[in-house]
Structure 1
Amino acid sequence: MSFREDNEDGREIRKPFLHTGSWYRMGSRQSSVMGSTTQVIRDSISVVFCVLVVALGPIQFGFTCGYSSPTQEDIINDLKLSVSEFSLFGSLSNVGAMVGAISSGQISEYIGRKGSLMIAAIPNIIGWLAISFAKDSSFLYMGRLLEGFGVGIISYVVPVYIAEISPQNMRGNLGSVNQLSVTIGIMIAYFLGLFVNWRVLAVLGILPCTVLIPGLFFIPESPRWLAKMGMTEEFETSLQVLRGFDTDISVEVNEIKRSVASSGRRATIRFSDLKRKRYWFPLMVGIGLLVLQQLSGINGIMFYSSNIFANAGISSNKIATLGLGVIQVIATGVTTWLVDKSGRRLLLIVSSSVMTVSLILVTAAFFLEVVVSEDSHLYSILGILSIVGLVAMVIGFSLGLGPIPWIIMSEILPVNIKGLAGSTATMANWLVCWLITMTANLLLAWSSGGTFAIYTVVAAFTIAFAAIYVPETKGRTLEEIQSSFR
């Protein structure tokens, strides 16, 4: 769509309305680039604001993950817990998250993405308060389960909401903000854990959700969810707000309407329907990536990083853990910039390759430490090598396997099965996360080298999985991606 206008010299200038990802074409090339850049920035402000608001949810997610590392010693001493009891405490958030994840799809389908996040925030707040006032393990466990329930909903709804509101040329960048926020939450927990005791740290954990709740009143609902629910007027209003009031949204509106019409607005999908290839293949890719993400052992490493550093001979283990959190944030920030340039699939392959090499180094270092005298110079060198490998593994994870599975999951699942399939994939992620978190301390006590050898095999398998099965979704609309599986 365009309109004509003559300039002072009588030359015709064509000025099309801006569609998502399109450019003004006015006179000279320079004015075209400058004008389009200004327009894209202005029209993306609403989307970026929405992403920043919902990113408070993943910050809460990360804070929950990072809480157990700096507090382990103090909680065990104050409440007289055993290592096994604390391991149970650390892993119970994953049990709660499984319940939250399996219900997240249905909740978000019936009351919307915003309403789901509102529900998720409340048990998080109650859970942190229960932990902060705990006098014995029962309150700790209850609080951790409530936190996990909220986090399970957040982990599904936030990437889906971001994918559904983002223009196709920014979807990867904005989708990566989800995992970037998780790493920021982990880093904040590590940093504050240096200065405050575990009860005060639990009270501070309330803050992200207390800001998220009022923030949700200032952002629009997902236009794709509104379209699926048949709320045509609200759908177009939401999309217009997100794309900017000067933007012609007719093409995108028609594309979304066609996609919703072909899927069936309120068609009931059962588990038996997932046997059809158009459903089972994207679901297999989504579940496969989210399961492999956790089988890499990253949460076991991040939950108990202070102990790992102590075992490697690092005296200031809490500071080293904070440094690891900072590195993770920086590496994930790089991915946020790269993902719409290099593509999802390539980053996954590079990420898994870096993890495999670094885990081989960590495995070798821990196995050799067993046979080397602790007083020898070689023993200290092996300790340094294990730390270098651990840091490289976290960097590799942050470059792809951390953020991209959530982006892929939110992009490839067809709209009519997204609730059922997405919550199933998210629950699988949390189930494996629980197994890894529950067993990490026990496995490390059994054999540090053996533990990292298992993680190495998983990272190597992930390279093959990404190369063979994962489709490239860069630069394609959600409707194009999902229709390609039909």
Structure 2
Amino acid sequence: MNQDRAELLKETNENVVISRGGYETLGDSSPEISRYSGQTKTFPQYVAALTATLTAFLAGMVLGWTSPMMDSLFAGNFNHLTISTSQMGWIGSFATLGAMTMCIPTGFVCDLIGRKKTLLAISIPFIIGWLLILFSKSVIYLYLGRLISGMGFGASCVAAPIYISEISEKQIRGTLGSYFQLMIASGILASYVAGTFMAPLSFTIFCAGLPFLFIIVFLCQPESPVFLMKKGLIDEARCSLIRLRGSEADVTEELAEIEGILKESGQTATSIIQTFRRYSNLKALLISFSLMLFQQFCGINAVILYSANIFSTAGVKLNDDICTIILGLTQVIATLFSSFMVDKLGRRVLMISSTLMVGLSTIALAVYYTLKDRFLIDKTIMDHLNLIPIISLGCFIIMFSIGLGPLPWIIGSEIFPPEVKSMACSGAGTLNMFSAFLITKFFLDVSQNIGDDCSFYIFSLFSLMGTIFTYFVLPETKGKSIEDIQFELSL
């Protein structure tokens, strides 16, 4: 098999070096190191990834803002606005609608002006959105503010993973890629904490000031060396790699690898339709889109929405704000654990474990609500089962954060060749945001018509389908170049 594989690579890329006992790839759209002279440093890559994913932190603040603000908005304690339940649903949903509109354009902007400039530009919709919310005179201002700040969220979902995949060595690519979901979870947690202990106006001012902090911190980070090479800026690409790999690293070979894969992409560049007719790209598209659907239709937003009800049902004497903080903290810790494990255990193990346990958790929740609401089991008996929903909730949040939360973004940035990566990631991000909008806006209405338990049974079905799909379709991408991954996808 190694010989066939080497021959296939040799036909498509004259720069591949066939080595004794196998082959040595030349990298992918993500700069990767095989055997470079000089010692590379990973610390600059960690810093660049963390600062880039501050956009995800800003997105998390947008997503989390509505939870601690809900009571204040209902009571008219924010800018003297009184919000109805229906309007509150739209305030929550407009962020995902705004995100959906920006995913595809962001891919084109990344290729036009660069990854770094795109990330910096993302701060603009965040700033405008928060200012509209801060100075809102009516609910229309809140709608517009949420819509525009949501556009920043959607743009970050595309630009940050692409940037990270192109600055990372393959040995730490998964870890750095997981920072995106980690920072979203951290932003949500920060909004829960700040919103609980700060006045509504002060909390919103705090949110509005964070995009300026991101600009200051990220401004000094380098542009993606892959983008610079695509533009023919070889000296700038070399300087970027030296900053990312350390002054002692010899980046000549890595530059040659990037140039080789870009040259191959240019030689094989055809129309978009023809490009996606390639079996490997079609399969990559199927994988990326499917993982995004499984991520949203596992019921993450519904479970978080029901968290306060689950805590109270279990007899936990905590107010809603403290419950959400506990959930947010659990999600951050579990996502942090995933960032340490993703380059050790691999993507497949984490995804299979995550989808399976998430599915079993929602089945347990569904069975509990069936017994409680349909069979009307005696309250004394139900009191003995009260630990079931809270254990299920904890298991769901932890296992979602380990796999289903971060990995669809990581895998989507790894499996596409450079000529289609921006467009494919943009399309997957759009599907993700549209799915999130559907769940956020219509979950309560659907649950009222078919029952809470039926909704959770449906979520379980999607999660278990995700387990089967991952086992049979998803290749392992840990530590592999795009040539390796594309070869496996073509089989």
Residue of structure 2 in register with 1:451 after alignment:
455
AA paired with 2:479? Answer: G
Residue of structure 2 in register with 1:369 after alignment:
372
AA paired with 1:101? Answer: C
Cα distance change on mapping 1:309 and 1:177 into 2, 3 Å: same
Three-state SS of the structure 1 residue aligned to 2:477 is coil
Residue of structure 2 in register with 1:338 after alignment:
341
Residue of structure 2 in register with 1:8 after alignment:
none
- How far apart are 1:145 and its partner, in Å? 0.3
Aligned equivalents of 1:214 and 1:478: distance in 2?
33
Aligned equivalents of 1:85 and 1:313: distance in 2?
31
AA paired with 2:322? Answer: I
Residue of structure 2 in register with 1:5 after alignment:
none
1:107 counterpart = 2:105: no
AA paired with 1:299? Answer: N
Residue of structure 1 in register with 2:475 after alignment:
471
Aligned equivalents of 1:127 and 1:261: distance in 2?
41
CA deviations on 1:254-288 (whole Å, 9 max, x unpaired) are 22111100111894643454232132111111111
- Over the aligned positions, Cα root-mean-square deviation in angstroms equals 2.4
AA paired with 1:62? Answer: G
Of 407, 411, 423 in structure 2, the residue corresponding to residue 408 of structure 1 is 411
Three-state SS of the structure 2 residue aligned to 1:134 is coil
- How far apart are 1:182 and its partner, in Å? 0.9
Contact 2:161 2:413 in 1 (8 A): yes
Which ranges in structure 2 are unaligned for 5 or more consecutive residues? 1-31
Contact 1:164 1:222 in 2 (8 A): yes
CA deviations on 1:303-333 (whole Å, 9 max, x unpaired) are 5644664566655122111101111111111
Residue of structure 1 in register with 2:28 after alignment:
none
Which ranges in structure 1 are unaligned for 5 or more consecutive residues? 1-18, 25-35
Contact 1:236 1:253 in 2 (8 A): yes
- How far apart are 1:449 and its partner, in Å? 1.4
- How far apart are 1:401 and its partner, in Å? 0.8
AA paired with 2:304? Answer: M
Residue of structure 1 in register with 2:27 after alignment:
none
Aligned equivalents of 1:328 and 1:269: distance in 2?
42
Of 128, 134, 137 in structure 2, the residue corresponding to residue 135 of structure 1 is 137
Aligned equivalents of 2:486 and 2:412: distance in 1?
11
Identity of aligned residues (%): 34
TM-score w.r.t. structure 1 length?
0.87
Of 255, 258, 261 in structure 2, the residue corresponding to residue 259 of structure 1 is 261
Residue of structure 1 in register with 2:90 after alignment:
88
- Give aligned pairs, total: 453
- How far apart are 1:443 and its partner, in Å? 3.5
- How far apart are 1:375 and its partner, in Å? 8.2
Cα distance change on mapping 1:304 and 1:136 into 2, 3 Å: farther
Three-state SS of the structure 2 residue aligned to 1:450 is helix
Cα distance change on mapping 1:181 and 1:354 into 2, 3 Å: same
CA deviations on 1:196-236 (whole Å, 9 max, x unpaired) are 24333222222432111122321110111112222222122
Aligned equivalents of 1:331 and 1:200: distance in 2?
30
AA paired with 2:458? Answer: I
Of 382, 387, 390 in structure 2, the residue corresponding to residue 379 of structure 1 is 382
AA paired with 2:320? Answer: N
Residue of structure 2 in register with 1:288 after alignment:
290
Cα distance change on mapping 1:371 and 1:283 into 2, 3 Å: closer
Of 432, 435, 451 in structure 2, the residue corresponding to residue 432 of structure 1 is 435
Residue of structure 2 in register with 1:222 after alignment:
224
Contact 2:122 2:156 in 1 (8 A): yes
Residue of structure 2 in register with 1:441 after alignment:
444
Contact 2:100 2:434 in 1 (8 A): yes
Residue of structure 2 in register with 1:61 after alignment:
59
AA paired with 1:340? Answer: D
Aligned pairs for 1:40-59 (under 5 A) are 43-59=41-57
Contact 1:226 1:235 in 2 (8 A): yes
Contact 1:176 1:407 in 2 (8 A): yes
TM-score w.r.t. structure 2 length?
0.87
Residue of structure 2 in register with 1:234 after alignment:
236
AA paired with 1:455? Answer: F
AA paired with 1:427? Answer: T
Contact 1:123 1:146 in 2 (8 A): yes
Of 119, 122, 125 in structure 2, the residue corresponding to residue 120 of structure 1 is 122
Residue of structure 2 in register with 1:28 after alignment:
none
Residue of structure 1 in register with 2:359 after alignment:
356
Contact 1:349 1:463 in 2 (8 A): yes
AA paired with 1:410? Answer: S
Cα distance change on mapping 1:314 and 1:103 into 2, 3 Å: farther
Cα distance change on mapping 1:480 and 1:207 into 2, 3 Å: farther
